[in-house]
Amino acid sequence: MFAIVRKELADCFNSVRFFVLFLLVLLASGLGLYAVQQGIHTALQQSQAITENGFVFLAIFTSSFPGLSFLNFAMVITIIVPIIGIAMGFDAINSERTGRTMSRLLSQPVYRDGVINGKFIAGLITITLMIGTAILLVAGYGLRMIGVPPTSEEIIRLFFYFVITIVYGAFWMGLAMLCSVIFRRAAGSLLIPIVLFLIFFAWMFLGSVFVPVDSSATINVQIQQLNLQETLLRISPVYLFQEALYVLLNPVVMGLGVISSAQAAYMVPNPLNLGQSLLSVWPHIVGLISLSVVFFAISYVVFMKQEIRAT
């Protein structure tokens, strides 16, 4: 299996694909930094950092362009990590078929699952490198911009953000690899994960469409509706990730669970502490991991049963 990891990594680092993806990562980091420059002030206010309750350093990652509250580094990452994951996985297996290297590969003393695992691990290493680069770039330059070093808690939170982003990338890569096992042509295995991503991405904005909150109803009904809305939204892995990263990076803005505006008015601005944050994103991480595992399991089963015929 390590022979496969080695080869895949070597192939990857020499490929145009890697170069393009890396450019994308640099672009995303640049965009994130630009957003920091433009919107750090607002971000600091929103995250309560000004009042010394929030995190100054972490605000770098969620500060957005003025007027475009969704456009920040975290959101850019939410969009490009699936692209990277899909790009790493969509032709993993079917390229061996179309290149007719599959039967040669599988007539060597390797287990079939070793082939999938090797490719997955190589992809994971690449994704980790890219995400690491992006986060370090933004953290480094962001630090120079705001001049406030991170506290140890912020470093821990950032680390968990890093981990969950890798899991999120692995999820998309797993999906793409499953498609590459099922579909013989790269066109199909590329298109389907992309379409799924677009659907899940749009899904984040559709909650209020599916379950409108009736503002004339009683508070209890409204809370019920909001809860239902949230359950629906959580079907989307993109939303799961988005929710988790806000708990980690900007816990004031978005504590989990429904807070009615009536309640919010009485809320003391008090961010979740680290333990609480981790506790509340734990199900998200587990959810993303188990979805990846399901994709993987299906890939295994399908791949094991496939006949390897070189024609």
DSSP 51: G
Residue 65 forms beta bridges with which residues? Answer: 68
Count of beta carbons in the 10 Å neighbourhood of residue 204: 17
DSSP 3-state assignment of 68? strand
CA dist., res. 87 & res. 94, Å (int): 13
CA dist., res. 167 & res. 180, Å (int): 19
Taking the least distance from each CB to another protein, the nearer of 95 and 128 is: 95
Q: What is the CA radius of gyration of the chain?
A: 21
Taking the least distance from each CB to another protein, the nearer of 53 and 117 is: 117
Count of beta carbons in the 10 Å neighbourhood of residue 60: 30
Taking the least distance from each CB to another protein, the nearer of 105 and 204 is: 105
The answer to whether the beta carbons of residues 124 and 173 sit under 8 Å apart is yes
Minimum CB separation of residue 305 from another protein in Å reads: 9
DSSP 256: S
Q: Which residues contribute to the site for another protein (CB under 8 A)?
A: 3-4, 6-7, 11, 14, 99-101, 103-111, 307-311
Minimum CB separation of residue 298 from another protein in Å reads: 20
Taking the least distance from each CB to another protein, the nearer of 144 and 309 is: 309
Taking the least distance from each CB to another protein, the nearer of 76 and 115 is: 115
Give φ, ψ of 278 to 5 degrees: -60, -40
C-alpha closest to that of 222 among 213, 211, 233:
213
Taking the least distance from each CB to another protein, the nearer of 119 and 284 is: 119
Taking the least distance from each CB to another protein, the nearer of 41 and 100 is: 100
Minimum CB separation of residue 80 from another protein in Å reads: 25
C-alpha closest to that of 230 among 257, 198, 199:
257
Written as six digits, the tokens of 83 are 């692209």
Minimum CB separation of residue 184 from another protein in Å reads: 14
Minimum CB separation of residue 18 from another protein in Å reads: 13
Written as six digits, the tokens of 213 are 């909150």
Count of beta carbons in the 10 Å neighbourhood of residue 25: 22
Query: Number of helices (H) and strands (E), helices first, in the chain?
Result: 14, 2
Taking the least distance from each CB to another protein, the nearer of 98 and 260 is: 98
DSSP 3-state assignment of 70? strand
Minimum CB separation of residue 306 from another protein in Å reads: 9
Minimum CB separation of residue 301 from another protein in Å reads: 14
C-alpha closest to that of 76 among 89, 67, 88, 64:
64
Minimum CB separation of residue 309 from another protein in Å reads: 7
